[in-house]
Amino acid sequence: MKGCGLCWTEAELALLDGDPALVPDEVVWQFAWEVEDHFEPDEYGPAWRRLAHRVVGLLTEDPDSRLTMGLTWAGFSHWPEAERTALYAQVTDIVLRAASDEERHKDLGELIEAAAQLDQSMVPWLRLVDTLPDEVVEHLAEEWSDCDKASSTFGTWLRWTDPTPQDEVLEWLSTR
Ligand SMILES: [Zn+2]
């Protein structure tokens, strides 16, 4: 695939075109948070679809909402149904596994932000949070309690508006 010459070497672009299993983690990372117009629009979506399960692997190991921020530009809402469903299932599984492991509760907020990039909405994931054990819900409510303050890191990479991710979380907090 083609990519901007400032960010990408020919060797890295060749890797992105090849077997997804052989792309080094750091190249997958770089791909996931590259600015979208540094790739050709008609190549970016197919590349994301090839690498989706690799991004999921990174998300498991290193929760970061930047990993999924390219999904909108990758045309996720127009992907084949089976691929959309598969990615939803994988990301949901990551969230649920973190929720069931107390040592990983600190990752949950970031994971849910990453997940919300699939919908460009926090709402479906707040519904999922409502099904989790009380202590998990309490943990997230505490973490998000200052989400609308400048000091909060919540939603840094979430770009939707009207309502904003902060509005969605504040609405959820107000109805608890
Ligand atoms: Zn670039």
- The model's pLDDT over 141-165, given as tens digits with 9 standing for 90+, comes to 999 999 999 999 999 999 999 999 9
Instruction: Tell me if 148 is assigned to some domain.
Output: yes
- Using alpha carbons, select from 98, 133, 128, 119 the residue that is nearest to residue 165: 119
Instruction: Tell me if 21 is assigned to some domain.
Output: yes
Q: Could you tell me the distance, in angstroms and rounded to a whole number, from the CA of residue 33 to the centre of ligand 1?
A: 10
pLDDT value of position 72: 92
Q: Could you tell me the distance, in angstroms and rounded to a whole number, from the CA of residue 82 to the centre of ligand 1?
A: 30
Cα–Cα distance for residue pair 165/158, rounded to 1 Å: 7
Question: pLDDT-based confidence at 176, cuts 50/70/90?
Answer: confident
Which domain range does residue 63 map to? 10-174
- What are 32-72's pLDDT values in tens digits? 988 888 999 899 999 999 999 999 999 999 999 999 999 99
Q: Could you tell me the distance, in angstroms and rounded to a whole number, from the CA of residue 27 to the centre of ligand 1?
A: 13
Instruction: Tell me if 5 is assigned to some domain.
Output: no
Instruction: Tell me if 4 is assigned to some domain.
Output: no
Q: Could you tell me the distance, in angstroms and rounded to a whole number, from the CA of residue 36 to the centre of ligand 1?
A: 8
Q: What percent of the chain has pLDDT over 90?
A: 95
Instruction: Tell me if 51 is assigned to some domain.
Output: yes
Specify the pTM: 0.94
Instruction: Tell me if 135 is assigned to some domain.
Output: yes
- What are 86-142's pLDDT values in tens digits? 999 999 999 999 999 999 999 999 999 999 999 999 999 999 999 999 999 999 999
pLDDT value of position 37: 85
Average pLDDT, the chain: 96
pLDDT value of position 89: 98
Phi and psi, residue 39, nearest 5°: -125, 165
Instruction: Tell me if 92 is assigned to some domain.
Output: yes
Cα–Cα distance for residue pair 2/117, rounded to 1 Å: 25
- Using alpha carbons, select from 73, 118, 72 the residue that is nearest to residue 95: 118
Q: Could you tell me the distance, in angstroms and rounded to a whole number, from the CA of residue 97 to the centre of ligand 1?
A: 34
16 with 1: CB under 8 angstroms?
A: yes
- Total domains in the chain come to 1
Instruction: Tell me if 127 is assigned to some domain.
Output: yes
